[in-house]
């Protein structure tokens, strides 16, 4: 190793340490921003160090990429609204996947004569995983943004085809190890990755997006790892491993929060029995429920000393987080104790609700996890459900035939009264009917959540 190469390796080591410290900072909101600065420093060291690498002989393309990328990066992060964060995350996974895949293709084209069998295998995996992450994330982005229909798309033999494609890619990578010159096989692997990404995300519905986004996060990390193995670059392996383990951990947490296994999410259960769900929904529409006016709801809230707000994806859709904060402030002014109960899978990605409420300036010590608050519903005067559905469905606890049976949910029905803000009486994303809406102590306030909340704020302030 030349002295320059040793120095570069030491730079990478320092970067790796800084990245780990950056993630450690995220263990609390106070230390997180300081940690992030360390991460930025690590990245700067790694990039500047690499630019001095002896293998880099020209800078024109590099400079163009850096300038264009920075411009787009700054623009996206400055203008994207917080409600669009799941879309942003999905898009960035697709960029990460694409970068890994293209590096893999470039490396293959340049080095094909000198590839060792191991490096060939690593390049194959890198390209396959990279392209899979790319199209999978683009599909997830399409579903989240409504460009692609969000409902699960399923057909017969889907899982067999997907597993077949996956095994086919593995076999093809195996062939490449023994015959690296077979470029048509290499591009076949790339194409399979592209196809499988689309096919794998098609059958997954909107409510399962938190798991899918986490899984794609993990794939993007694995693709970066494979790049590291192919290029013998430890910093890539370390960062890929950090990203991969973070994605994996989040996917496990999300699956647990829905009481579903990985395979269950990937190979689809929701949407498999649309007829049954539709039948239940159809029958239920005529059932009586308490429809309340804003005035009724406001009088209940005004009489409540302890209120728990349960936000869901509906809050993000109607961008109601600021109105929620205003209502909470008005109630607190009257002496009520207002807290927020956040379910791990509320929204479309891990932590979605927390970010939205933080944006609305809600103090983070008012936000409580499922376990932290679930025993308090029994002595709560009013629960305000804002656009959440499955996470407050008692069927998850007492109806073993329900598709969401076993999912940990809030004990909302134990509180003295429940106010549900909902667009209409239609069943939620999973198509599962919710008993809570027909209980005697539940008041349904139908309409756009934001408008209802603003009207409630006015009522509470006046009274």
Partner 1 sequence: MTTDWVFNLYVFVLATFVGYQVISRVPPLLHTPLMSGTNAISGISLVASLLAAGTNHRLSQILGFVAVTCATINVVGGFLITDRMLRMFHKKPSPLAAKSAPARAGADS
Active site residues: 390
Cα three-residue angle 255-411-258, rounded to 5 degrees: 10
8 A C-beta contact, residue 125 and residue 173 = yes
CA-based nearest residue to 409, from 333, 318, 327, 344: 344
User: Helix or strand or coil: residue 445?
Assistant: strand
> Smaller CB distance to partner 1: residue 66 or 283?
66
Measured from the CB of residue 61, what is the shortest distance to partner 1 in angstroms? 4
Q: Where are the alpha helices (DSSP H) in 146-233?
A: 158-178, 183-201, 209-231
Distance of closest approach, residue 131 Cβ to partner 1, in angstroms: 13
Q: Are 364 and 334 spatial neighbours (Cβ–Cβ below 8 Å)? A: no
Q: Give the residue with the Cβ less far from partner 1, 169 or 330.
A: 330
Minimum CB distance to partner 1 smaller for 153 or for 253: 253
CB 214, min distance to partner 1, A: 8
* Distance of closest approach, residue 164 Cβ to partner 1, in angstroms: 28
Cα separation, 269 vs 121, whole angstroms: 34
Per-residue burial over 291-300, b = 16 or more CB atoms within 10 Å of its CB, e = otherwise: ebebeebbeb
- CB < 8 Å & 24+ apart, contacts of 335-339: 335/305, 336/301, 336/304, 336/305, 336/306, 336/307, 337/305, 337/306, 337/307, 338/307, 338/308, 338/309, 338/366, 339/306, 339/307, 339/308, 339/309, 339/366, 339/367, 339/368, 339/373, 339/376
Nearest residue to 135 (alpha-carbon basis) of 223, 21, 10: 223
User: With respect to partner 1, which residue has the nearer C-beta, 357 or 453?
Assistant: 357
Strand segments (E) across 312-378:
337-342, 367-369
CB neighbour burial string for 318-328, b if at least 16 within 10 angstroms, e if fewer: bebbbbbbbbb
Residue closer to partner 1, measured from CB, 272 or 337:
337
User: Least distance to partner 1 from the beta carbon of 462, Å?
Assistant: 14
Please state the closest distance from residue 354 (CB atom) to partner 1, in A: 5
**Identity of the residue, 350 or 387, whose beta carbon is nearer to partner 1 in the bound complex:** 350
């Amino acid at each position: 190793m030349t002295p320059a190469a040793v120095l570069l390796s030491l730079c990478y080591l320092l970067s790796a340490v800084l990245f780990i410290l950056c993630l450690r900072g995220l263990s609390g909101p106070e230390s997180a921003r300081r940690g992030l600065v360390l991460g930025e420093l690590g990245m700067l060291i790694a990039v500047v160090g690499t630019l001095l690498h002896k293998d880099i002989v020209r800078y024109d393309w590099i400079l163009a990429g850096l300038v264009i990328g920075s411009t787009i990066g700054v623009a996206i992060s400055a203008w994207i609204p917080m409600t669009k964060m799941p879309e942003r995350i999905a898009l960035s996974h697709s960029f990460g996947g694409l970068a890994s895949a293209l590096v893999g293709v470039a490396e293959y084209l340049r080095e094909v004569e000198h590839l060792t069998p191991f490096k060939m295998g690593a390049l194959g995996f890198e390209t396959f995983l990279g392209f899979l992450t790319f199209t999978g994330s683009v599909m997830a982005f399409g579903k989240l943004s409504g460009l692609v229909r969000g409902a699960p798309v399923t057909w017969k033999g889907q899982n067999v085809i997907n597993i077949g494609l996956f095994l086919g890619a593995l076999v093809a990578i195996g062939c490449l190890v023994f015959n690296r010159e077979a470029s048509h096989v290499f591009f076949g692997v790339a194409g399979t990755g592209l196809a499988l990404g689309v096919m794998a995300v098609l059958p997954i519905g909107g409510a399962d997006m938190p798991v899918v986004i986490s899984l794609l996060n993990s794939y993007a990390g694995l693709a970066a790892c494979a790049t590291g193995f192919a290029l013998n670059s430890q910093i890539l392996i370390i960062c890929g491993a950090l990203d991969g383990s973070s994605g994996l951990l989040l996917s496990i947490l999300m699956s647990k929060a829905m009481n579903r296994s990985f395979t269950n999410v990937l190979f689809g259960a929701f949407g498999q029995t649309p007829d049954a769900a539709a039948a239940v929904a159809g029958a239920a529409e005529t059932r009586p429920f308490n429809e309340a006016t804003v005035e009724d709801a406001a009088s209940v809230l005004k009489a409540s000393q302890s209120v728990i707000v349960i936000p869901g994806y509906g809050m993000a859709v109607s961008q109601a987080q600021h109105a929620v904060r205003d209502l909470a402030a008005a109630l607190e002014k009257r002496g009520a104790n207002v807290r927020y109960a956040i379910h791990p899978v509320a929204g479309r990605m891990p932590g979605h609700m927390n970010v939205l409420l933080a944006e609305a300036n809600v103090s983070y010590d008012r936000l409580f996890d499922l376990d932290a608050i679930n025993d308090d519903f029994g002595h709560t005067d009013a629960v305000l459900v804002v656009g959440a559905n499955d996470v407050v469905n008692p069927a998850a606890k007492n109806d073993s035939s329900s598709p969401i049976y076993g999912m940990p949910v809030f004990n909302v029905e134990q509180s003295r009264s429940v106010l549900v803000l909902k667009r209409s009486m239609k069943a939620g994303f999973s198509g599962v009917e919710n008993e809570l809406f027909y209980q005697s102590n539940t008041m349904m306030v139908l309409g756009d959540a934001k408008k209802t909340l603003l009207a409630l704020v006015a009522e509470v302030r006046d009274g």
